[in-house]
Amino acid sequence: MTLEQFGWNEFFAAQLPAGAAGRVASANHGRFLVWTAEGEVDASVSGMLRQNSPLWPAVGDWVVLRKDAAVIVKVLERKTKLSRKQPEREVREQVLAANIDVLFIVSGLDRDYNERRIERFLVMAHESGARPVVLLNKSDLANELGLDLADIVARTAALSPGVQVVSLSALTDHGLDVLPTLLAPRETAALIGSSGVGKSTILNRLLGDERQRTNAVRAGDSRGRHTTTSRQLFVMPGGWLLMDLPGLREVQLWASTEQVQESFDDIVGLAAGCRFRDCNHAGEPGCAVEAARLEPGRLANFLKMQKELAHLERKIDPRLAKETRKKWNAIEKSVRSHPKRKG
C-alpha cells in the first residue's frame, strides 16, 4: 500500500516533505494501530506527547513514528477535527476523529428519528470542517411505519442550508450506492449517530464483508445496545476510507455560538428584521423570528444550543461570564414558558 491509499495528500505533504508518516486506523487504551507504507504498526505514544494532551493522536490522524521504534512522536496538523465536549468534564475538548472530509450523520427512520438531535449533529459537523450528509437509514421500514419518505427527506433537508439528505436501507441496499459518489477518490468519511441506527451495518454492506459486529435494537424504543466500542478506519472498495464510530449517547457540543448561527441561517436571516438588534427572540416586542412562527422546537433548540455554548465560552473565558448572565436568564425564562411540542 502507498500512503496515498490511506488519504495522504498535499495538505499533509506540505508539513512533512521528507520522512515516514502513518495514519492512525484505530486506538485502544493508549495503543494505536498505525498504517504505514511498510505495513501496520502497533504503536505507543512518546513521553513528550503524553505530557501535552492537545497533541494526543485521534483516529484518522497522520503521525510521525520514531525511527526504528513503534512510538508516535508527532501528530501532523489536522485538516478537520470532529470534537465534542468531553462528558463529565467541565471544559475539555475530546477529538473523536481527525481528517474527516465527509461526515455521514446517520439517523434511523424508526423511533430514533429526531430533528433536534440531527440539528445538534449538524452544528457539530459544521464546526468540524467536514461536509455533512444526513443518512436516513432503514427506509425499508417506511411503509410499515406509515412514513412518507419524500416528505421526511424534505423536512430533514430544511434543517440546514444546502445539506444533502439520502434515504437508504442497509438491509436491502437501497440507496447505498450513492454514498461512494459523494466523495472524491482517497477522501475519508465517518459515520456518526446514536446507537442502533445501523452505522456498522452500512459499513459492512459497503465493504461487502461482515467486519464490524452489529446487534438488534430494543423492540420498544428502537434503541441500540452500544455494540461498536471503538473508532476504526477502513479502506473501502473504490479507494475511499470510512470510519465507524460507537453510538453517541450524548452530544455535548464543542463549538462556538457563531457556529450555531451558521447552521440556522433561517433564524439569523429573520433576526435582521427584529426591532432590537440584540433581540433574544424570547418575547421581545417587534421580534421577527417569533412572528415567523417557525416550528417551536427548532427555535427552542437554537436557543438551547446558543445558551449551552455561551456557557462553554464563559467557562473558557470567565470575563464573559458577567456580561452574559443576565441575558441568558431572560431567555431561559421565556423558553420555559413556551409550550413544548411532543416528538
> Which spans of this chain sit near ligand GTP (rule: CB under 6 A)?
137-138, 140-141, 169-171, 195-201, 214-217, 224-228, 246-247
Give the burial class of 258: count Cβ atoms within 10 A of its Cβ; 0-12 exposed, 13-18 middle, 19 or more buried: exposed
CB of 312 to Zn ion, least distance (A): 23
224 is in the binding site of which of Mg ion, Zn ion, ligand GTP, none (Cβ under 5 to 8 A by kind)?
A: ligand GTP
Residue 301 touches which member of Mg ion, ligand GTP, Zn ion, none, C-beta under 5-8 Å by kind: none
CB of 179 to Mg ion, least distance (A): 16
Smallest gap from residue 340 Cβ to ligand GTP (A): 28
The residue among 199 and 205 lying less far from Mg ion, judged by its C-beta, is 199
CB-wise, 42 or 258, nearer to Zn ion?
Answer: 258
- Segments of 183-231 assigned E as strands: 188-192
**Contacted by 107, from Zn ion, ligand GTP, Mg ion, none: CB < 5 to 8 Å by type:** none
What is the number of other CB atoms lying within 10 angstroms of the CB of residue 52? Answer: 11
Least gap, CB of 174 to ligand GTP (angstroms): 8
Segment holding 233, helix H or strand E: strand 232-235
Nearest residue to ligand GTP, by Cβ distance, number only: 247
306 binds, among ligand GTP, Zn ion, Mg ion, none (CB under 5 to 8 A by kind): none
Per partner kind, with CB cut-offs from 5 to 8 A, the member of Mg ion, Zn ion, ligand GTP, none near residue 23 is none
Rounded to whole angstroms, how far apart are CA atoms 207 and 16? 31
Question: In the structure grid, which three cell numbers stand for residue 316, read together?
Answer: 473558557
> In this chain, which stretch among 84-92, 144-152, 245-253, 267-275 interacts with Zn ion, using CB under 5 A?
267-275
Question: Among candidates 337, 261, 263, which has minimal Cα distance to 296?
Answer: 337
Q: Name which of 80 and 228 has its Cβ closer to ligand GTP.
A: 228
Helix (H) or strand (E) holding 207: helix 199-207
- Helical ranges in 18-141 per DSSP H: 47-51, 115-128
Is 331 a binder of Zn ion (CB under 5 A)? no
Residue 180: left (phi > 0), alpha (psi -120 to 50), or beta? alpha
Of 230 and 329, the one with the shorter C-beta distance to ligand GTP is 230
The option from ligand GTP, Mg ion, Zn ion, none interacting with 281 (CB < 5 to 8 A, set by class) reads Zn ion
Q: Which residues have a Cβ under 8 Å from the Cβ of 271 and sit 6 or more positions away?
A: 279, 281, 288, 289
Q: Which amino acid is at 75?
A: V
